[in-house]
């Protein structure tokens, strides 16, 4: 059980209506138990197409996971394709029907519609994994030691099926080891010197642990991977080794568990007991959302203000009207005053502000779209920067700018 192939079924993805996020989730979960996704087929809801994709996938890997094509309003072509591929028939499965009835009763839908009843029909050779968050069951087929799982397409249903049922099932059946990973972010030390400094530690690592170096810009990421049967033990082992590593390079380590910039920020703020707030204009809440996307952020994020209208910047954030009149609302000066007002309003160590025009369409001040000024204020020091990204679409702009500000802030905090 080494290679998996994913098959995403559904015209809504091919037509550009929906972005496929299931594949990403499944690939990540499989990676944690040492299974690599070698290919993804995204195909339309046609019986022949599905059968062809299954045949190709079985040539490439031992495990196939299909998502989509099992809804109550569809023709259930996926089920038919699977039955045909495995020379099987579709029949009513009593256990699945009872599960479905209970599921719908609990939701107050006492009469089972005919089209829902059809969802309890599955290939007779299949093993059913009941879906606790939707009406389409998950089916498993087995042939020559290879497995096919067929899941519905709704991400809220896919996630628990994969995490709570399929991954534990695969681990049990194939005695798969867990793989736990920690990322240690190191700055301010060249890779070669870092390697020398930690050489003894690296050589003394237990056999089931592996270290790799990933340089990213001015940062070196050390990836420490542990492989073993018991997840809890692995995590303890990783923590133990990191505790041995830290004294060697303590001043250069900015984060020891996470890779995403907002999670690195979380580690730094928590470690140093710093608090933060935001005052946004053109990023429209994206900056706050990025910060609060980290679980536990309520410990350091006190709150934020989205001051879209100029008068709210003046009233609530105490930006001076004269500053707006003299420099326009999209200016270094307004960004700076927003950050100051924000810091006072929320009483935080750090405040971040943005003012700009995300476009398309010109801002009220007539400046070109794609311009943003942002201020990072730490205690009584502050830096204001400008970005000009006219080629970005609105949401990309909001996202890019927010990401950049958090990166800059992390950079400032670690260089202090």
The number of beta carbons lying within 10 Å of the beta carbon of residue 347 is 10
State which residue, 291 or 378, has the beta carbon closest to a copy of itself: 291
> For residue 223, what are the β-bridge partners?
183, 212
How near is the Cβ of 83 to a copy of itself at its closest, in Å? 22
- What per-residue string of b and e applies to 173-188 under the rule 16 or more CB within 10 Å gives b? ebebbbbbebbbbbbe
Q: What are the tokens at 363?
A: 């801002």
How near is the Cβ of 3 to a copy of itself at its closest, in Å? 10
How near is the Cβ of 199 to a copy of itself at its closest, in Å? 26
DSSP-derived 3-state class of residue 310: helix
State which residue, 5 or 245, has the beta carbon closest to a copy of itself: 5
How near is the Cβ of 124 to a copy of itself at its closest, in Å? 30
Q: In terms of Cα–Cα distance, which of 25, 123, 26 is closest to 65?
A: 26
State which residue, 205 or 316, has the beta carbon closest to a copy of itself: 316
Residue 167, preceding bond cis, omega within 30 degrees? no
State which residue, 202 or 285, has the beta carbon closest to a copy of itself: 285
State which residue, 19 or 203, has the beta carbon closest to a copy of itself: 19
State which residue, 8 or 252, has the beta carbon closest to a copy of itself: 8
List, in sequence order, every beta strand (DSSP E) within 217-256.
219-228, 253-255
Q: Are β-strands 138-143 and 127-129 bridged in parallel, bridged antiparallel, or unpaired?
A: antiparallel
How near is the Cβ of 31 to a copy of itself at its closest, in Å? 6
State which residue, 245 or 334, has the beta carbon closest to a copy of itself: 334
Longest dimension (CA), the chain: 78
DSSP-derived 3-state class of residue 198: coil
State which residue, 186 or 357, has the beta carbon closest to a copy of itself: 357
How near is the Cβ of 384 to a copy of itself at its closest, in Å? 21
User: How far is the C-alpha of 369 from the C-alpha of 352, rounded, in Å?
Assistant: 21
How near is the Cβ of 38 to a copy of itself at its closest, in Å? 6
User: How far is the C-alpha of 397 from the C-alpha of 171, rounded, in Å?
Assistant: 42
How near is the Cβ of 8 to a copy of itself at its closest, in Å? 8
How near is the Cβ of 319 to a copy of itself at its closest, in Å? 13
Alpha helices in 61-166 (DSSP H): 77-85, 94-106, 114-117, 155-160
Contacts of residue 183, Cβ cutoff 8 Å, sequence gap at least 6: 221, 222, 223, 224, 255, 256, 257, 258, 259
Q: Are 185 and 254 in contact (CB under 8 A)?
A: yes
Q: In terms of Cα–Cα distance, which of 128, 113, 5 is closest to 57?
A: 5
State which residue, 1 or 249, has the beta carbon closest to a copy of itself: 1
State which residue, 117 or 394, has the beta carbon closest to a copy of itself: 394
Q: Are 317 and 345 in contact (CB under 8 A)?
A: yes
Q: Are 135 and 116 in contact (CB under 8 A)?
A: yes
How near is the Cβ of 19 to a copy of itself at its closest, in Å? 5
Contacts of residue 173, Cβ cutoff 8 Å, sequence gap at least 6: none
Q: In terms of Cα–Cα distance, which of 332, 266, 339 is closest to 304?
A: 339
How near is the Cβ of 16 to a copy of itself at its closest, in Å? 3
State which residue, 87 or 212, has the beta carbon closest to a copy of itself: 212
Q: What are the tokens at 330?
A: 């999209």
């Amino acid at each position: 059980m080494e290679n998996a192939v994913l098959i995403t079924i559904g015209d809504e993805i091919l037509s550009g209506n929906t972005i496929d996020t299931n594949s990403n989730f499944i690939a990540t979960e499989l990676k944690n138990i040492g299974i690599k996704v070698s290919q993804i087929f995204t195909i339309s809801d046609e019986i022949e197409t599905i059968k062809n994709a299954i045949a190709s996938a079985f040539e490439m890997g031992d495990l196939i996971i299909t998502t989509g094509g099992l809804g109550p309003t569809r023709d259930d072509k996926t089920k038919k394709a699977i039955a045909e591929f495995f020379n099987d028939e579709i029949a009513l499965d009593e256990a699945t029907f009872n599960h479905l009835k209970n599921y719908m009763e609990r939701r107050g839908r006492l009469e089972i519609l005919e089209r829902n009843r059809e969802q309890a029909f599955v290939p007779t050779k299949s093993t059913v994994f009941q879906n606790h968050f939707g009406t389409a069951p998950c089916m498993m087929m087995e042939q020559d030691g290879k497995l096919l799982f067929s899941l519905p397409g709704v991400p809220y249903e896919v996630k628990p099926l994969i995490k709570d049922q399929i991954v534990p099932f695969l681990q049990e059946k194939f005695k798969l080891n867990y793989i736990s990973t920690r990322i240690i972010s190191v700055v301010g030390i060249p890779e070669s010197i870092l390697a020398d400094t930690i050489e003894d530690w690296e050589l003394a690592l237990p056999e089931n642990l592996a270290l790799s170096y990933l340089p990213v810009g001015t940062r070196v990421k050390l990836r420490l991977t542990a492989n073993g049967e018991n997840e809890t033990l692995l995590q303890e082992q990783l923590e133990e080794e990191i505790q041995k590593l830290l004294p060697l390079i303590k001043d250069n380590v900015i984060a020891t568990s996470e890779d995403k910039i907002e999670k690195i920020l979380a580690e730094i703020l928590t470690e140093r007991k710093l608090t933060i707030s935001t005052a946004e204009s053109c990023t429209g809440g994206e900056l706050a959302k990025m910060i609060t996307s980290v679980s536990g952020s309520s410990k350091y994020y006190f709150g934020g203000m989205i001051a879209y209208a100029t008068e709210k910047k003046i009233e609530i954030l105490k930006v001076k009207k004269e500053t707006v009149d003299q420099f326009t609302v999209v200016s270094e000066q307004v960004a700076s005053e927003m950050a100051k007002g924000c810091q006072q309003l929320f009483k935080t160590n750090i405040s971040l502000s943005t003012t700009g025009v995300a476009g398309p369409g010109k801002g009220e001040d007539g400046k070109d779209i794609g311009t943003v000024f942002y201020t990072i204020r730490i205690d009584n020091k502050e830096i204001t920067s400008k970005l000009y990204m006219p080629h970005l679409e609105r949401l990309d702009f909001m996202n890019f700018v927010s990401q950049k500000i958090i990166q800059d802030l992390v950079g400032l905090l670690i260089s202090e």
